[in-house]
Amino acid sequence: MAQHGGLDCPFFSGQDRKRPGSGGMTGVTMQAATTEGFRNFGSVTPPSADEIHSRAEEPLAAQMLIGKLIRRMNEPHRYDDAKAHDESPDNPRIPAGYTYFAQLAGHDIVYGAMTAINLANGNLPRVNLRARPLVLDTVYGRGPTDDPISYEIPAAPGECREKLRLGHIRITQTHRPNPACPVHTARDIPRARIEGLSDAVNEGAADTLLTDPRNDDNVNLSQVTTLFLMFHNAVIDILRDRNPFPAEVSAATELLSFSRFGLARQITAAVFRGIVVHDLLPRLIRPQVWALYNQDRPRPLADTPDGRLPIEFCDAAYRLGHAMVRMSYRMSRQTDLEGVADVIATSSARRPRETPIRDIWVAEWSRFFSIDGSRPQLSRRIGPSFNPIMQKDTLFRNVYVPGTQDGSWDTNLSGLLYRDLVRGSLSGLRTVNSLAELLPAAVLDQSPLLADREHRTATLRAWLDAGTTVAFTADERDAIAQDPPLLFYLLFEAAHETDGKSFGTLGSIIVADAFAGSLEQSRDLIEDGIDPVAGITTDQAVRHVFGSTVPGTMSGLITFIAKALKLESVEPPFI
């Protein structure tokens, strides 16, 4: 039993903070077993060899064909309702902020997936460290006792760490549109420059104090992460004012502090999950398919959940989010357009000299989500390409170049789309044909592409032949049309079935099933949870804090934070 400042507390011993029969959440995360956490979609046991996407015996030949396919994919795609022959028109269905909220949600499902080292060494296991997904482990880590660096030092004597740390931005703009508004600088993830270490170079805030450093992969994601740090802290403040704990707990400062953190985490995770179900997934999933899930408790329609994630989700379907990334973003009314290359590069790991971030990188959230009728910038439509900037070798280098003696390798092959396609070709994904056979009739009725294999093959052949920049041999064309790389097919499907406004049918099923299975896997901690100290259910705890106006969308979450933390009229602008 863990000791916490002299307090022998059974609720915080590194396990779920619950008593037998309660389903309570904890102030610290569960530890994942070090076992493989992945499998194929729809399979508890491995599928047969003919159900796995084939790749050439010679890796160079397979990767060269992928390079040829990418040249066809990079030709402009004409969406039906686009006004011009535009390669990447805006998506009217999905504001730009959801690209990065989806990334945060993905990090809360998967931690420790396949790397280039795993691919090169097939004997290395893939391990998913998310033992209980979608409970905001990506934000909380192991809690304030085991990951104290992510939590604020308490100001009051005897209290434990409860609030998540925030980082201060650098104010560099001399002109303020509204000088009467106060400047609020605690608007970033926590970053640090640590003195006295052996690093040869130690400039800027090169280290993040996050429990999951991936949440600093780009500045848009780090800003979305900051929202949830702020939200948790606002919930802590409300629980201080509206103490739901019994008198004997309230009289013990340290126990009260631990208990308040655990309940705040449970409330925050519940709101996060509600936004995933009611705001994120309905935007990503094809509407006709989402109608099959749209109930109080979404359940998988085709997969067979067993606590492991489908590699088809990790290595193909959820990578459709990469297609949603815009060429540029306007962070606020005070800033110019910023190219996506700088958005990606602005992080502690890539540009420590630029951190702590400057005020030009602080999000004015009405530019990313629709708030009070605002017209936010939109995500990019989902189609058979990524934006050209993300194909640059300077951003995403080719880590899969095999050694060749004849110089036949195309050294121009690089970029995120190339890496995603090669990863998918090496990781043993199911074929599109075998995935279609797993789907129920109610799903196949929505998709002639999936329901009719001959129609699917003919449609893909016609698209390949329509290219003007590359010509496929008959064998190459047939190989791709009959057994397309899964990511390519899902990108093509989205453009073909939804005009790029959401995932297509198969992509929707893989993603929705993965989320539904993950929600079920941790339901006992959240929806069915009972706080063992306050003695109230999660729903009662949420209502205790929010009353009848629980934030159910990202816009609602942002509006709540602005009001709770008095950020409605600050500089840089919050909304």
Q: pLDDT averaged over the chain?
A: 88
Instruction: Quick: pLDDT tens for 475-514.
Output: 999 999 999 999 999 999 999 999 999 999 999 999 999 9
Closest residue by Cα to residue 370 from 213, 204, 558, 102: 558
Q: Are 53 and 47 in contact (CB under 8 A)?
A: no
Residue 242 backbone phi and psi in degrees, to 5: -120, 70
Length of the chain: 575
Closest residue by Cα to residue 363 from 555, 513, 491, 223: 223
Contacts of 511 (CB under 8 A, 6+ apart): 281, 284, 285, 313, 317, 318, 320, 503
Q: Quickly tell me which residue has 């925030």 as its tokens.
A: 166
Please compute the mean of the pLDDT values over residues 142-168 and round it to a whole number: 96
pLDDT in the model for residue 116:
52
Confidence band, pLDDT 50/70/90 cuts, at residue 392 = confident
In the predicted structure, residue 60 carries a pLDDT above the cut 70: no
Can you tell me the distance from the alpha carbon of 397 to that of 328, in angstroms, rounded to the nearest whole number? 21
DSSP 91-123: EEEEETHHHHHHHHHHHTT-SS---HHHHH-TT
Can you tell me the distance from the alpha carbon of 186 to that of 380, in angstroms, rounded to the nearest whole number? 30
Please compute the mean of the pLDDT values over residues 150-178 and round it to a whole number: 90
Classify residue 546 by burial, with Cβ atoms within 10 Å: 0-12, 13-18, 19+.
middle
Task: Please state the separation of Cα 501 from the chain's center in Å.
Answer: 18
Contacts of 322 (CB under 8 A, 6+ apart): 386, 390, 416, 417, 420
- Tokens for 561, please give them: 């934070």
Can you tell me the distance from the alpha carbon of 377 to that of 135, in angstroms, rounded to the nearest whole number? 29
Max CA-CA distance within the chain? 78
In the predicted structure, residue 261 carries a pLDDT above the cut 80: yes
Q: CA 138 → CA 28, 206, 339, distances in Å? A: 12, 20, 27
Please compute the mean of the pLDDT values over residues 408-430 and round it to a whole number: 82
pLDDT in the model for residue 87:
53
Can you tell me the distance from the alpha carbon of 363 to that of 334, in angstroms, rounded to the nearest whole number? 10
Residue 181, number of CB atoms within 10 A of its CB? 14
Instruction: Quick: pLDDT tens for 71-130.
Output: 999 998 888 876 554 555 899 999 999 999 999 999 999 997 555 555 555 556 678 889
Confidence band, pLDDT 50/70/90 cuts, at residue 275 = very high
- Exposure of 450 in the CB half-sphere (CA atoms within 13 A): 29
Q: CA 389 → CA 339, 343, 458, distances in Å? A: 9, 11, 31
In the predicted structure, residue 1 carries a pLDDT above the cut 50: no
pLDDT in the model for residue 401:
59
Structural domains for the chain: 3-564 (1.10.640.10)
- Tokens for 343, please give them: 């958005």
